[in-house]
A and B are shown apart, each in its own frame.
Chain A
Amino acid sequence: MANSKALLGVLALCLTGMCSHFGHAEETSLPRPSLYIGIENNRKPYVYFDANRQAQGFLVTTIQSACEQLDLKCHFVGGRPENLLLNLQNIKLNAVLLLDSALPPKVDALKLTHPPNIDHLKFTKPLCQLVPVLLHKKQAPARTKPEDFKNTTIGVQEGTVFHSYLVAKYSGVAHIKAYPLLESAIIDLVFNRLDGVLGEKTFFKARVFDTLLDEYAELTSTPADIQDLSTTRIVLAVREHDTDLLKQLNAALAPPASTTKACTELLASASVKPVKSNH
Chain B
Amino acid sequence: MPTISTHSTRQYCQPWFYIGLLAFIVITLREKTSSRVGEGKSRDARLHRLNLMTTLLALLLCCHSTAYAEEKTPAQTSPPVVEQKSTPAASDKTKLATKITDAESEPKTQAQAQLESSMDNVKVIEKTLTTLRKEIDNSKKGAVLNRATIKDGLDLISSQLKDAHVDLEDMRSLISTQGINLEKLQNDLLTLKRNDLTALQRSLNANAADVSSQKFLIENYASGGYETLLKIAELSTKLDKLSQGQSVQKDSKQNERISMIKDLDRLWLLLAIVMVSFVPIAFAIANNKEHNKPLLDGATAQQGVLLVCLAAFFGYFILGFSFMFGPSTGGWLGSMGFVLLGNATEPSLKSTFAFAEFLLYQASFVLFAALIIYTAIGRQLSGMAHLLLALLVGTLLVPVFGHWAWAGHFITDNKGWLEAIGFVDAGGATTINTLAAGFVLAWLWRIGKHKPASHDPDHPENEPVYCASALFFLAISVAGFTAGSLSISSNQIAPTLLNVGLAASAGGLAALLHYRYTRVDKGQVTRSLGGFVTGLVAVSATASTLDFAEALIVGAIAGLIHNVTYTLLRKSILQQVWQVRAAYIVAIHGAGGIWGSVCVALFGTEGLFAMPNMGQLGLQLTGTASALIYSVGLANAVFFLYARYNK
The interface of chain A, by Cβ under 8 A from chain B, is 41-42, 180-181, 183-184, 186-187, 190, 207, 211-213, 215-217
Contacts and interface: CB of A to CB of B under 8 A. Distances in A.
Give the interface centre of A184, A186, A212, A217 by most chain B CB atoms within 10 Å: A212
Contact of A42 (B219, B232, B237): B219
B223 interface: yes
B355 interface: no
Contacts of A207: 226
Contact of B234 (A181, A183, A184, A211): A211
A215 B222 contact: no
Given A190-B229, A211-B230, A213-B229, A184 B222 contact: yes
Interface in B288-337: none
Contacts of B234: 211-212, 216
B226 A187 contact: yes
A215 B219 contact: no
Contacts of B238: 212
B215 interface: yes
Given A211-B234, A212-B234, A215-B237, A181 B229 contact: no
Given A186-B226, A187-B229, A180 B236 contact: no
Interface string B228-250: 01101110111000000000000
A211 B236 CA distance: 12
A42 B226 contact: no
B236 A216 contact: yes
Given A180-B219, A181-B219, A216 B232 contact: yes
Nearest to B215: A180
Contacts, number: 46
A41 B213 CA distance: 13
Nearest to A191: B229
B220 to A, nearest CB: 8
17 contacts: A180-B218, A181-B222, A181-B223, A184-B222, A184-B225, A184-B226, A186-B229, A187-B225, A187-B229, A190-B229, A211-B233, A211-B234, A212-B230, A212-B237, A215-B233, A216-B233, A216-B237
A42 to B, nearest CB: 6
Nearest to B225: A187
A180 B222 contact: yes
Interface string B358-379: 0000000000000000000000
A211 B228 CA distance: 12
Contacts of B230: 211-213
Main secondary structure of the interface of B (DSSP, over half): helix
A162 to B, nearest CB: 18
A215 B244 CA distance: 14
Nearest to A184: B222
Contacts of A41: 219
A216 B232 CA distance: 9
A207 B225 CA distance: 13
A187 B226 CA distance: 7
Give the interface centre of B215, B218, B229 by most chain A CB atoms within 10 Å: B229
A41 B225 CA distance: 17
Contacts of B223: 42, 181, 183
B232 to A, nearest CB: 7
Interface in B519-561: none
A182 to B, nearest CB: 9
Nearest to A44: B223
Contacts of B236: 212, 216
Q: Which 4 pairs between the two chains have the least Cβ-Cβ distance?
A: A216-B233, A183-B226, A212-B237, A213-B233
Nearest to B226: A183
A190 B232 CA distance: 12
B215 to A, nearest CB: 7
A225 to B, nearest CB: 28
Given A180-B215, A184-B222, A216-B237, 17 more contacts: A42-B219, A42-B223, A180-B218, A180-B219, A180-B222, A181-B219, A181-B223, A183-B225, A184-B225, A187-B229, A207-B226, A212-B230, A212-B236, A213-B233, A216-B234, A216-B236, A217-B233
Contacts of A184: 222, 225-226
A164 to B, nearest CB: 21
A210 B198 CA distance: 53
Contacts of A186: 226, 229
A212 B226 CA distance: 13
A229 B218 CA distance: 30
Contacts of A213: 229-230, 233
A84 B222 CA distance: 23
A41 B215 CA distance: 13
Contacts of A190: 229
Contacts of A181: 219, 222-223, 226
A75 to B, nearest CB: 21
A42 B219 CA distance: 9
B239 to A, nearest CB: 10
A100 B435 CA distance: 89
B240 to A, nearest CB: 8
A187 B227 CA distance: 10
Contacts of B218: 180
Contacts of A183: 222-223, 225-226
A24 B215 CA distance: 45
B366 to A, nearest CB: 55
A212 B233 contact: yes
A201 B236 CA distance: 25
Contacts of B226: 181, 183-184, 186-187, 207
Nearest to A217: B233
Contacts of B222: 180-181, 183-184, 187
A180 B232 CA distance: 23
A212 B241 CA distance: 12
A6 to B, nearest CB: 46
A13 B328 CA distance: 122
B230 to A, nearest CB: 5
Interface string B199-228: 000000000000000010011001101100
A213 B234 CA distance: 7
Nearest to A211: B230
Nearest to B218: A180
Nearest to B228: A187
Interface string B581-610: 000000000000000000000000000000
Contacts of B225: 183-184, 187
A181 B226 CA distance: 10
Interface in B179-196: none
Interface in B132-187: none
Give the interface centre of B215, B218, B233 by most chain A CB atoms within 10 Å: B233
Contacts of A212: 230, 233-234, 236-238
B242 to A, nearest CB: 13
A28 B225 CA distance: 48
Nearest to B220: A42
Nearest to A48: B223
A187 B224 CA distance: 11
Contacts of A42: 219, 223
A187 to B, nearest CB: 6
Contacts of A215: 233, 237
Nearest to B232: A216
A213 B219 CA distance: 20
